Every structure is written in C-alpha cells, then in structure tokens.
A and B are shown apart, each in its own frame.
Chain A
Amino acid sequence: MSEPLRREDVAHVAKLARLILSEDELNRFTQQLSQVLEHAHDMNSLDLANLVATAHPFGLVNVVRDDVTRPSLDHDVVIAMAPDAQDGRFAVPRILGEAP
C-alpha cells in the first residue's frame, strides 16, 4: 500500500478501463492519483481488523420479485438507440477474441 503509484500501473489500469491516455494525461494522472491514494493512507493508522466491511448502509435481505412477465420494450425503440444495427441486431466491428 505504501508503494508509490507508477506510470506503468496507470497505463495498465487505462487498458483495463478501455481508455487511451496521452503521454501528458498519463503523467498528470499518475501524479494526481498518487496524491489521492496518499491521502487514503490515513486509513492505515487504524486497526480495522475486527470490523466487517459495509457494502450497504442498511441490512435489507431477500428482496425478490415474483416470476411474472412484464412488457418488454418495443423492438423499434430498441434498435433506434443503436449506433449501428443490422437485421434487428446491434452491429459491432469484428471481435478479436472470445469472451474470457
């Protein structure tokens, strides 16, 4: 955690997030994100071992719905949103690899 953020970490994260960063942005983000992460190190001084993580502020459980159909969207409305469509489907350029 105390390791400083490196430029290559930022480049790796950009790839994961599907963003292309210019050299300039890469440098700037490395510096700015380091600053935020450094600020986060104030959490290090705490003994948090015995605390559970809170993902939700309130402990609702078992929120489910009945298995009953509701109307779907009109097909024309759906396809009208598409940046590119063909044969009632969403069209995309070639996919280079199978899903992971």
Chain B
Amino acid sequence: MKSASDIARDVQSGTSSAASELDVALAQIRARNGELNIFLYVDEEGAQRTAAALDERIQRGEQIGPLAGVPVALKDNLCQTGIPTTCSSKILEGWRPPYNATVIDRLLVAGAVPVGKTNLDEFAMGSSTENSAFGPTLNPLDTSRVPGGSSGGSAAAVAADMTPLALGSDTGGSIRQPAALCGLVGVKPTYGLVSRYGLIAFASSLDQIGPLTKNVRDAALLLEVIAGHDPLDSTSLPEPAPSLSSHVNDGVAGKRVGLVRELIDGADADVMASVERAADALREAGATIVELSVPEFRLGLSAYYLIAPAEASSNLARFDGVRYGLRVNGDDVTSMMEATRTAGFGEEVKRRIMLGTYALSAGYFDAYYGQALKVRTLTINAFARAYHQADFLLGATTPSVAFAFGAKTSDPMAMYLSDVFTIPSNLAGEPAISVPFGTGDAGLPVGVQLLGPGRSEALLFAGARVLEIADGRS
C-alpha cells in the first residue's frame, strides 16, 4: 500500500487523483470487509463527492493540504455530520450526529477523504474488539486472533491495506495495543494536544484521539494535521500544532533512554526479547540505555480501573432514551430509561458503569475514587523522577502478541491486565508511541513502546523512526 505522504504528493502533482486513490481503498474494503468485519459503515458516496471536489480544485491549480486525497478510516466513536455513529452499541441505533468532530473538520481542511466508520469495543471499553454489538473484528494478519482494542477496527483497516491512515482513541492503551497486535505505528498524544470535541467520551480526563499508520512518517503527518488548540475543548492545550514531520529523522544520538523494568516484567518471552533488541538498536544509533525501576507503574492498573469507569458511569448517563438513539418503552420515564439502558448496553459497558457508579457512591468515594486520584498524582511524580534520568522511556506495549478469540472474555480481570503497560501514560497525560519491532510467536508482530514527557512527541517520533529503520522497514 502506498504511504499517505506518497498519495498526497501524487494527488497534488496530478500523477494520481483523489478519486483513483479512493477507488483503491474502496476496492480493498469491498474485497475484505465481509470477512474481517472492520467497517461498520462505508460512506462511498460521501467519500466520492469529497474526492471529486478535491480533484476539481487541483485541476484549477489549487494547493490542497498535506493529506490531499488520502483515504482515512475513522473509529466509530467520532461524530461525523449525517453519518451513523454507533460506538458499536445498540443504544445509539439510528443516530446520525448533526455535527463534525474537530478532528474530522481538520482532516477535511487538510484534503483527507474520510471513507467510513470502524468497529470498536462498545464505547471503547475493551482490548480485543470482541465487545462490539456488531460482532468482533478479525486480525488481518491471523484471522483466528483479535486485532486488539478498543480501536481494533481502525488498526485492522490499516493492517488490511484498506486505508493508509486511521484515527483511533486511546484511554488506557486503545490505540497502542491494537497497533502492536496488528503491526502498526500507534500514537497516544499528550493529553490536550488533540481536541476531544466530537469524540464520544469514555473517560474524559484520559481520552485522546491519535493516529494508526503503517509507518512513523505518516503518523507524524496525521498528528500534525489533527493537533493544535481548539476553543471548543476546554482541556485543549493553548498552543498551535507542533511541527512533527520535520523531526522524524532527528535520530537519538546523545539521548538517554530509560529501559523500565515495570514495563517489561510479566511480558511473554518473545515480547521481552523484542524490547531488548530495540534497546540495542537505540544504543547503536547513539543513545545511552539506562535501566530504571518505576514501581508506581504497577499501581496504575488499579487507579485506572476506578477512574475510567467512574467518569464513564457519568458520561454514559445521557443514553437514556429521551433525546436520541434507542428507546425501549416503559410505563413511566424511569422504567423507560431502565428498559432502554438494559437493552442498549452490552455486558462490559454495564460492568464498568456499575464499577464506576459504585466507586463514586456515598461512603465509597474516598476509599476508591479519591484514592485513585492520588495514585494518579503518584504516577505523575514517578514519571517526572524517571525523566531526571532519561529523555524518554522504553518498554513493551502489550504483554503478548495478538491472542485468540475468547481467550480472555470470560475473565474481565485478565483482559484488564493486558493494558498494564499502556495505562501509566494515560494517567499522566503524557505521550507514548507503539512501534512494531520484530516478530514474536507464530510470526506475529511485537510492539515496543516509547514514552515521553508532555509535549515530547517529536522526540518519540525520532526514536520510533530509528527503530523502524533498524527493523528493516524503510
């Protein structure tokens, strides 16, 4: 598959066209979507209109943005005007948002062509895309295995060569983990770097939208387009989008890389081996490797599985059958709300709403939610300490390569544990990238993770690019 930057260059120069690039994407979607269950909705007509309009502008000699004619897949928790948006839940049945998420407006301004909405774990709650009301997505690299989650559909779309770019959202690892399991680059940006306006919230203080791509350069390009201050999001960082693509080839010479024991311990041997070889590759590129222990990272999981459900329990209250989406009738308004929510939400969503409601309820707030917020502080402090010794950190993205369907569905705790390495960055609001490095069991890709302080994306992209080259991928 052509890279996004190549497509944009060709479309802008007239050697290709947005319409023909879209045709390539649509053909691949038609060929494989039935089997893999990646797109919940393909907006063929809308995409064709967008592409035709771009081609017309190019013919008139206009300069389009950096993503001219590049097809993009969107996780189905991003609102797009007039396009069904489901969060993979029955509760949003029939709802078409009357507005665009800020990231979608920015994609359009940059000349990208949104092609459709991808499957996810319902309301982004899960790590395998098995919790979708519309059935699981298959991992294109091995269809007996999960693509990861919750942005499993977006990851699979890129892995299956349907689109070169996809957007996902990452609350506790939901971009990085499927990127690792599908052999992609996945970025969880600094909290506030990308506007959340139009992203259907799971846990507001943790959610970030980010790219899933085949290579580091495309990820930097896409993040540059969607980043930057948005007045519609009060938690949006005040500064404009940083320059990222220009730093991709900066290298890591002279950088100190912290190899964090808590981000490796407990991982399978194949994963551990990849991380160690990644450390070697960075060292060969001129970095110094410092071995670190950050014990606080182990507590992240506990804090996360209280904070995220607590916020979710409140964010998901609005799905009550009154204003949009599903309604199941009842005798009175309370029964209607109960019937609607009971029928509309899947089991994992209910489990987390229950957990979050409990954590916030009278008598338990201080012991659970209050305590978790303090552990969050502890995590932030721990990161800060680590950054005295290292410029960025290195670890595994996931404990294992892609696992089989059903392997963890009966045991929520086991599923939650697969987020253990990705959660600390969300708690701290700091950026992290998963980049494929080597292969593990069954020839499946392994993802290694680079973590940095707030606003250090350029540094992380440079590190990821070094690994990409060392791994033999141009």
Contact = CB atoms under 8 A, between A and B. Distances in A.
Q: Are these two chains actual partners, yes or no?
A: yes
Interface of A: 1, 5, 9-10, 12-14, 16-21, 25, 29, 32-33, 35-37, 39-40, 42-44, 46, 48, 51-58, 60, 63, 65, 73-74, 77-78, 81-84, 90, 92-96
Given A42-B299, A52-B374, A60-B235, A33 B358 contact: yes
A93 B332 contact: yes
B349 to A, nearest CB: 10
Contacts of B13: none
B82 to A, nearest CB: 10
Contacts of B355: 33, 36-37
B354 A81 contact: no
B299 A43 contact: yes
B259 interface: no
B388 interface: no
B364 to A, nearest CB: 8
A51 to B, nearest CB: 4
B378 A46 contact: yes
5 contacts: A43-B302, A48-B374, A77-B98, A81-B323, A94-B331
A44 to B, nearest CB: 8
B416 interface: yes
B273 to A, nearest CB: 28
A13 B326 CA distance: 22
Contact of A54 (B235, B361, B380): B380
Nearest to A57: B429
Nearest to B353: A17
A30 to B, nearest CB: 10
B98 A54 contact: no
- Give me the 6 closest cross-chain CB pairs, A-B, nearest first: A57-B429, A53-B373, A83-B327, A1-B367, A48-B374, A81-B324
A44 B119 CA distance: 38
B439 interface: no
Nearest to B342: A20
B338 A13 contact: no
Given A81-B323, A83-B324, A57 B413 contact: no
A42 B413 CA distance: 15
Interface of B: 95, 98-99, 191-192, 205, 231, 234-235, 237-238, 298-299, 301-303, 305-306, 313, 317, 320-327, 329-339, 341-342, 345, 347, 350-351, 353-355, 357-358, 361, 364, 367-368, 370-378, 380, 412-413, 416, 427-430, 454
B338 A9 contact: no
B377 A53 contact: yes
B333 A93 contact: yes
A94 B333 contact: yes
B196 to A, nearest CB: 13
A72 to B, nearest CB: 11
A4 B104 CA distance: 46
B30 to A, nearest CB: 31
Contacts of A93: 329-333, 335-336
B305 A39 contact: yes
Contacts of B361: 12-13, 16
B413 A83 contact: no
Given A43-B371, A65-B231, A84-B327, A53 B376 contact: yes
Given A14-B354, A46-B378, A51-B378, 13 more contacts: A17-B357, A20-B338, A36-B413, A37-B368, A39-B302, A46-B299, A48-B371, A56-B429, A57-B205, A73-B98, A83-B325, A93-B336, A96-B333
